[in-house]
């Protein structure tokens, strides 16, 4: 295990004083559920802490970098930068999936590549860095990833999600204030068993199907359906 911890330290460029913190950051709860006799702690508490650190670091970054943005724009930009999908991508960039300690069942269900596990691991890693090195180091670590992703010159399109953009587009084309009430999202299928379910959602207006999307969460499937609808309407 020591050589794996050394590998992570090399990847992130930080030498830990308390190696147990770094080790804990990659312990998924499924390992303990499958092996209750192990005297280990999962990364859930570190994940909780890391989430707050990331939110604070990105808020500070955006606040200082964009003094002309109002509260609403800052919140939307932060949501674009900090979400499960974006954190999972950062985890993949670091290769954290390789180091996750998961159960056999989670391994069989491709748990190392699961978006939620990867996002949680990145948050836990940030939490571990904070406890071992302090806020400044944790903030610098977060900012080193977020800065290249920062939105330099935002437009409404940059900051709105697909569902909001679809409603605005249709309302503009339709010239009706009732458009929002006529756009319907319907779950048409759910496959697999929790927590590995896949949702398929269709979006329609006036009984005309505009797009269909899938996702591991209903909300994600709705966004993907809206994205397809926008492509179809372009």
Please check whether residue 57 is in contact with residue 44, taking contact to mean a CB–CB distance below 8 angstroms: no
Q: Give me the residues of the chain with pLDDT under 50, please.
A: 179
How many distinct structural domains can be found in the chain? 2
pTM assigned to the model: 0.69
- What is the C-alpha to C-alpha distance for residues 140 and 68, in angstroms, rounded to an integer? 23
**Residues 98-114 as b or e (16 or more Cβ within 10 Å = b):** ebbbbbeebeebebbeb
Q: What six digits make up the tokens of 47?
A: 């994940």
Let me know if 51 is a catalytic residue.
yes
- What is the C-alpha to C-alpha distance for residues 55 and 62, in angstroms, rounded to an integer? 11
Let me know if 132 is a catalytic residue.
no
C-alpha closest to that of 161 among 178, 145, 185: 185
Q: What is the pLDDT of residues 144-158, one digit of tens each?
A: 887 655 555 555 556
CATH number at residue 195: 3.30.160.20
Q: Are residues 164 and 117 in the same domain?
A: no
Determine the pLDDT at residue 135.
97
From the candidates 47, 120, 123, 222, give the one annotated as an active-site residue.
123
From the candidates 51, 115, 120, 132, give the one annotated as an active-site residue.
51
Q: Are residues 39 and 63 in the same domain?
A: yes
CATH number at residue 93: 1.10.1520.10
Q: Are residues 41 and 143 in the same domain?
A: yes
């Amino acid at each position: 295990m020591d050589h794996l911890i050394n590998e992570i330290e090399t990847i992130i460029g930080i030498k830990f004083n308390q190696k147990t913190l770094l080790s804990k950051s990659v312990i998924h709860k499924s390992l303990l559920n499958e092996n209750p006799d192990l005297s280990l702690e999962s990364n859930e508490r570190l994940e909780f802490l890391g989430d707050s650190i990331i939110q604070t670091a990105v808020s500070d970054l955006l606040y200082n970098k964009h003094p002309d943005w109002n509260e609403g724009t800052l919140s939307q930009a932060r949501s674009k930068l900090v979400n499960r999908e974006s954190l999972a991508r950062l985890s993949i960039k670091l290769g954290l999936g390789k180091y996750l300690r998961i159960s056999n069942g989670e391994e069989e269900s491709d748990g190392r590549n699961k978006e939620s596990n990867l996002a949680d691991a990145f948050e836990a890693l940030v939490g571990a860095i904070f406890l071992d090195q302090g806020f400044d180091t944790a903030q610098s670590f977060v900012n080193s990833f977020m800065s290249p992703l920062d939105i330099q010159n935002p437009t409404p399109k940059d900051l709105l999600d697909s569902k909001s953009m679809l409603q605005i587009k249709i309302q503009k084309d339709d010239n009706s204030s009732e458009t929002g009430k006529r756009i319907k999202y319907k779950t048409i299928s759910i496959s697999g068993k929790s927590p590995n379910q896949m949702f398929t959602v269709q979006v329609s207006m006036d009984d005309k199907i505009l797009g269909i999307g899938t996702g591991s969460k209903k909300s994600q499937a709705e966004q993907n359906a809206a994205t397809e609808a926008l492509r179809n309407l372009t």
